[in-house]
Amino acid sequence: MVRHLTLGISIALLAAATTAQAQDWTKSKWGPADEIGAANYLTPELTLKAAQLVKTGKTYALGIPVDSKTPAYPPRGFKVTIVQPGQAGIPGLGPSKTTYNDDILEGWVGVGSQIDGLGHIGVEHVYYNGNKLADFADPTGLKKLGIEKVPPIVARGVLLDMAAHYGVDVVKEGTAFNVKEIEEVAKKQGVEIRQGDVVLFHTGWISLIGNDDKRYNSAEPGLGVEGAKYLTGKGVVAIGADTWGLEVIPFESKNIFEVHQILLPMNGTYILENMNTAELAKDKAYEFMFVLGQPRFKGAVQSMINPVAIR
């Protein structure tokens, strides 16, 4: 009876999310001026509840180190150049002989651990809250939906260990996480997904970096279309994984990056990619305080990040 009731509730949530998306996804429920989407779910009350999850004070860096060899979605690339401006041929600046290093970053913002902003993905050149490409996208920076608009994301984090669920170190590419899989893992771990949460999937995929970059970049396990509708129906703020694109690849249908479309333009739900979830999974830290204050590059589409999990 309980199983049937739970299944019924899940189907109802999925149906509600699908209906909402089938209506007019170009109009945000937070109004025509809204630019932050699911971040509207964040409240001081939820932040206080997230802080109460901290019991040991142990912290986890969820970002990965990035350099010129970090595999990325083509044609993206990245490098750092270290310089010593105005110091050639002198022992240092002033009587104290001060010397210093500076760095120049060259490359794409969407490399390594990153957050996808609401100006990243659209449907036929229409983006979150009905913003049309020609009206807000400018080579010098987005006029709306820039990454600087995203408020600090301090929330309850939930880890779903898909590798443990399948009994493997690395989940096979093409494995989709939909309602059945999400609910089974959540039940097994004793966690409930709630409005305002940040949900992360652990697949082991990121362990391929430096070991099998070709496989890492060619496909991945990940969130499926039904799973995306299910989680957005619950009102989560962001969804991430230890993969480069979050969603399952090869795709479930001929649609290209449909999960991205469901999350970003249709629901304003943020995407977190290349999250280092290995230590969380090792410690079975399925519930924690999630803290993110991304670099506020004005008008940027994405941002490199290093969120912190605290438990």
pLDDT tens, the chain, 311 aa long: 544 444 454 545 555 444 444 569 999 999 999 999 999 999 999 999 999 999 999 999 999 999 999 999 999 999 999 999 999 999 999 999 999 999 999 999 999 999 999 999 999 999 999 999 999 999 999 999 999 999 999 999 999 999 999 999 999 999 999 999 999 999 999 999 999 999 999 999 999 999 999 999 999 999 999 999 999 999 999 999 999 999 999 999 999 999 999 999 999 999 999 999 999 999 999 999 999 999 999 999 999 999 999 99
- Global pTM reads 0.91
Helix 2-22 with 258-267: angle, nearest 10 deg: 70
**Distances in Å between the alpha carbon of 39 and those of 46, 69, 237, 292?**
12, 33, 6, 12
What residue ranges define each of the domains in the chain, with the CATH number in brackets?
A: 22-70+108-310 (3.50.30.50), 78-107 (no CATH)
Helix 179-189 with 225-233: angle, nearest 10 deg: 60
Eight-state DSSP code of residue 308 = E
* Helix, strand, coil % in the chain, rounded to nearest 5: 30, 20, 50
Say how far apart CA 137 and CA 264 lie, in whole Å.
16
Long-range contacts of 210-214 (CB under 8 A, 24+ apart): 210/69, 213/71
Eight-state DSSP code of residue 120 = S
